């Protein structure tokens, strides 16, 4: 497969971004690679995540990828800058928490940013906060343990609800720190967005950056003259570093969810 777009995540979460990309670019061939064997990334060191992301990206390029999308907030904050330096000629997009649209909509509101421990402690997030936080009360909240529900295919269960109830108790409608909006700063979380919304309560708006990232990839591809012609019908191939039958079936299921 030559001239494909590699979409990378620590596991199955980036499929939330891939779905948007396929909708926007149905003529492209996508290779989705999930590194479930080494997941979660969010509780690893920055150096470990950087090394894993660089290693996989090198492999995609060797195999003929024409563009790379890092569909993982954690890997983006660890490695996007160094990868752009290493391969300035390759269209490479990453993803970051959709703080900007959330603050635009709630300029003086309270905005919760749910992400991995690494994403919220990285310099990239602090820069994002300085740039787009404005006068909003932005609360970064690490949610270690949440991505594992999605990796297991557990998208709604009593255990998931209990986990989220405990994590989000004070931010719920009626809680001491009730929020106006929540930003899903990890690509696994859109798959449990409905439960997150139900736990937080009516009126709390959910933001996620998948569509913005897909749009940016489309723009970068056409700018580089790399978009496939309209008559080409695109494809999606799933690969995973721990490709059990259950996990590969989960990839297909999440893709159409």
Tell me which residues touch ligand DGL (CB under 6 A): 9-11, 13, 39-42, 72-74, 116, 119, 147, 186-188
User: Of 17 and 200, which CB lies nearer to ligand DGL in the complex structure?
Assistant: 17
User: Of 105 and 124, which CB lies nearer to ligand DGL in the complex structure?
Assistant: 124
Question: Considering the complex, what minimum distance in angstroms separates the CB of residue 187 from ligand DGL?
Answer: 4
Tokens 């490479």 label which residue? 92
Spatial contact of 146 and 152, defined as CB atoms under 8 Å apart: no
Question: Considering the complex, what minimum distance in angstroms separates the CB of residue 144 from ligand DGL?
Answer: 8
Nearest to 118 by CA among 212, 40, 16: 40
Residue 200 contacts by C-beta under 8 Å, 6 or more apart in sequence? 168, 171, 172, 173, 179, 182
Q: How far apart are CA 231 and CA 218, in angstroms?
A: 17
Q: Which two tokens stand for residue 182?
A: 């929540």
User: Of 64 and 145, which CB lies nearer to ligand DGL in the complex structure?
Assistant: 145
What are the backbone angles phi and psi of residue 214, rounded to the nearest 5°? -65, -40
Question: Considering the complex, what minimum distance in angstroms separates the CB of residue 16 from ligand DGL?
Answer: 9
Question: Considering the complex, what minimum distance in angstroms separates the CB of residue 52 from ligand DGL?
Answer: 10
User: Of 97 and 228, which CB lies nearer to ligand DGL in the complex structure?
Assistant: 97
Given the residues 72, 92, 146, 254, select the one marked as catalytic: 72
Q: How far apart are CA 51 and CA 38, in angstroms?
A: 12
Beta bridge partners of 137: 110
Given the residues 61, 68, 186, 199, select the one marked as catalytic: 186
Reply yes or no on whether 251 is catalytic.
Answer: no
Reply yes or no on whether 186 is catalytic.
Answer: yes
Q: Which residue is nearest to ligand DGL (CB)?
A: 42
Residues with catalytic function: 72, 186
């Amino acid at each position: 497969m030559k001239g494909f777009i590699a979409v990378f995540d620590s596991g199955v979460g980036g499929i939330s971004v891939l779905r948007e990309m396929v909708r926007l670019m149905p003529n492209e061939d996508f290779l989705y690679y999930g590194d479930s064997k080494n997941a979660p990334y969010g509780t690893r060191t920055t150096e470990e995540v950087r090394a894993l992301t660089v290693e996989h990206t090198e492999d995609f390029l060797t195999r003929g990828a024409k563009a790379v999308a890092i569909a993982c907030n954690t890997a983006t904050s660890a490695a996007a800058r160094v990868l752009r330096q290493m391969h300035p000629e390759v269209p490479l997009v990453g993803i970051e928490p959709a703080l900007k649209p959330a603050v635009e909509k709630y300029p003086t509101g309270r905005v919760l940013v749910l992400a991995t421990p690494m994403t919220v402690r990285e310099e990239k997030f602090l820069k994002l906060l300085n740039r787009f936080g404005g006068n909003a009360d932005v609360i970064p909240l690490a949610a270690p343990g949440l991505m594992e529900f999605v990796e297991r295919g557990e998208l709604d269960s009593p255990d998931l609800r209990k986990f989220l109830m405990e994590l989000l108790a004070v931010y719920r409608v009626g809680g001491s720190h009730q929020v106006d909006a929540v930003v899903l700063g990890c690509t696994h979380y859109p798959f449990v967005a409905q439960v997150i919304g139900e736990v937080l309560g009516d009126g709390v708006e959910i933001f996620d950056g998948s569509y913005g990232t897909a749009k940016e990839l489309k723009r970068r591809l056409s700018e580089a003259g790399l978009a496939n012609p309209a008559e080409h019908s695109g494809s999606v191939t799933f690969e995973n570093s721990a490709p059990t039958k259950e996990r590969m079936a989960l990839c297909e299921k999440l893709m159409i969810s």
